[in-house]
Amino acid sequence: MALLGAGLASPWAMALGLSESDAASGVRAALERGAQAALTNLGRTDGFLGNPQVRIELPGALKDAARLLRTTGQGKRIDDLITSMNRAAEQAMPEARQLLVSTVRNISVEDALRIVRGGDDAVTRFFEDKTRSPLSTKFLPIVTKATERQSLSEKYNAVAGKAAGFGLVRKEDANLQSYVTDKALDGLYFMIGQEEKKIRQDPIGTGSAILKKVFGG
Picking from 204, 216, 195, 202, the residue whose alpha carbon sits closest to that of residue 30 is 195
The per-residue pLDDT for 99 is 93
pTM for the predicted model, two decimal places: 0.80
- pLDDT, tens digit, 9 for 90 and up, residues 9-64: 444 444 456 677 777 787 888 888 889 999 999 999 999 999 999 999 987 667 77
Top pLDDT among 75 and 45 is at 45
Picking from 118, 101, 81, the residue whose alpha carbon sits closest to that of residue 38 is 101
Q: How far is CA 148 from CA 61, 98, 116, 145, in A?
A: 23, 25, 43, 5
Q: Quick check: 128 pLDDT over 80?
A: yes
- For the chain, the distance separating the N- and C-terminal CA atoms, rounded to the nearest angstrom, is 26
Of the pLDDT bands very low, low, confident and very high (cuts 50, 70, 90), residue 188 is very high
Top pLDDT among 15 and 78 is at 78
The per-residue pLDDT for 14 is 45
Q: How far is CA 126 from CA 133, 164, 165, 174, 181, in A?
A: 13, 39, 43, 30, 19
